[in-house]
Amino acid sequence: MQERDNRHRTNFGRRTFLKVGSLGLTGLSLADLLRAKSRADAAGGRVRDDLSVILVWLDGGPPQHETYDPKPDAPAEFRGPLKAIPTAVPGVFLPELMPRHARVMDRMSIIRSLHHENGDHFAAAHWMLTGFLGSNAANLAPQYPSAGSVVSRLMGAKKPGMPAYVGLPRTHSIGLAPGYHGAAYLGVAYNPFNADGNPNNDRYKVPNLSLPKGVDRDRVSSRRTLLTAFDQTRRDVDTSGLMTGLDRFEQQAFELVLGDNARRAFDLSQEDPRLRDRYLRHEWGQSALVARRLVEAGVRFVTLTFGGWDFHSSLEKGMHRVLPVLDAAVGSLIEDLESRGMLDKTIVMVMGEFGRTPRMNNAGIAGVDPHPGRDHWGNVMSVLIGGGGLPKGRIIGASNARGEVPKDRPVRPQDLIVTLYNQLGLDPQTTFYNHSGRPVTIGGDGQVVRELVG
């Protein structure tokens, strides 16, 4: 009773603490950082503390034919409804609805032979985001941490007062929030900071960047008050595993609330309206602009979830709706990063959980829409990747003439994730313990895609 009364008097009970604490403790302990750097040095590399990552996640499974691997010479039922256009890289073509991508293709690369042979949305999303086969439709719980969570744990934010890992505008995988973008056994401290909402809305306000009701700035900034609150809640927090290393980094959660850096980074009113127009005044475009502002302000890893790619029917109509928006968002992001000298310090990846069936289906979903689409296909897919010092203008691997399977240089999801870690200077043999106490390396059996490292 006395403990409950004390919490009531301070207005800083467990719920309040969790609300504030969930904001910024996405960093890492000094021991973690030194251990990771030591591993990287021993392996002949060095942690690239200057790099950030922006992952554009196309939730639902984008069709490879209508995005990064068009087949203009294939029969119509494979080719699909879109024409192909040349890009800035001779001999490389993209769909007609992606002219901005075509313009910046000489600054990016495409993997056209990624595959995992899995058509389960959940299993495929988990595999692509973590590098491990684990969760599936019958067992939805995340089994392994996302690459974003691993990077957050091992590298932390680039600047104090910023979260290491941010997700927006609707952070989920196949409807699960944060789903396989989350930290699994690394603990919720390494989940993405949830900035969900529509940045294209003038009333957009990032959740949890203000003090909870009844807690004023002077009180929170008082170390004595903080330590008292931590003592009152430490047992509950330790039980939940929310805040690893709280005794060393208790201030980090409050730097977000008390400082102005994060709040300014999310404020698009500071941007030139003409630049905002180039990104398109759409949730996706404005989210991409926020992502640029976040990495500029010191966020290490940003995930943009652009959902709605599960086109079993009405593919042509769907592509005309989503591709121009994606094209403006990604094309503008790449150009904007480059114009600010940030592209060489920011890895950009665009991908979904799987590709789509090479042959268009006959009649879409019976009784719903007579227009054809494409179904689930994990046998081959494409990933756009570039920036961060990666090679430019390369096509890694190829699918066969109809976009059915890899023709050469097959790449697996774990290879992509390990290549990301390699570029960041992280040792893929770095090991954490899962919920069963079993040691698990962050890279599994993945191999670096050598065409992307030199």
pLDDT of residue 260: 80
Of 217, 251, 147, 189, residue with least CA distance to 27: 189
Q: Mind listing the domains of the chain with CATH numbers?
A: 2-452 (3.40.720.10)
Question: Is the pLDDT at 405 greater than 60, yes or no?
Answer: yes
Neighbours of 267 (CB within 10 A): 15
**Separation of alpha carbons 289 and 281, rounded Å:** 10
Q: What percent of the chain has pLDDT over 70?
A: 77
Distance of CA 186 to the CA centre of its chain: 17
- Six token digits for residue 255: 């730097």
Q: What would the 3-class secondary structure string for 149-182 be?
A: HHHHHHHCCCCCCCCCEEEECCCCECCECCHHHC
> Per-residue pLDDT tens for 379-398?
999 999 999 999 999 999 99
Say which residue, 395 or 235, is predicted with more confidence. Answer: 395
> Per-residue pLDDT tens for 294-342?
999 999 999 999 999 999 999 999 999 999 999 999 999 999 999 999 9
> Per-residue pLDDT tens for 10-34?
333 333 333 333 333 334 444 555 5
Say which residue, 266 or 245, is predicted with more confidence. Answer: 266
Average pLDDT over residues 109-134: 98
Of 292, 259, 63, residue with least CA distance to 168: 292
> Per-residue pLDDT tens for 57-94?
999 999 999 999 999 999 999 999 999 999 999 999 99
> Per-residue pLDDT tens for 156-200?
999 988 999 999 999 999 999 999 999 999 998 899 999 999 999
Of the ranges 37-51, 210-224, 241-255, 368-382, the best mean pLDDT one: 368-382
Q: Which amino acid is at 172?
A: H
Average pLDDT over residues 141-153: 98
The answer to whether 43 and 36 have CB atoms below 8 angstroms apart is: no
**Separation of alpha carbons 154 and 161, rounded Å:** 17
**Separation of alpha carbons 255 and 243, rounded Å:** 15
Question: Is the pLDDT at 9 greater than 60, yes or no?
Answer: no
The strand pair at 355-356 and 93-95 is best described as unpaired
Q: Which amino acid is at 415?
A: D
SS3 94: strand
How many distinct helices (H) and strands (E) make up the chain?
16, 16
> Per-residue pLDDT tens for 341-352?
999 999 999 999
Biggest alpha carbon distance in the chain? 77
Q: What percent of the chain has pLDDT over 90?
A: 73
pLDDT of residue 45: 55
**Separation of alpha carbons 331 and 325, rounded Å:** 10
Partners of 305 in the β-ladder: 57
pLDDT of residue 19: 37
pLDDT of residue 29: 47
Which run of H or E residues covers position 381?
strand 381-387
Question: Is the pLDDT at 400 greater than 70, yes or no?
Answer: yes
Average model confidence (pLDDT) across the chain? 85
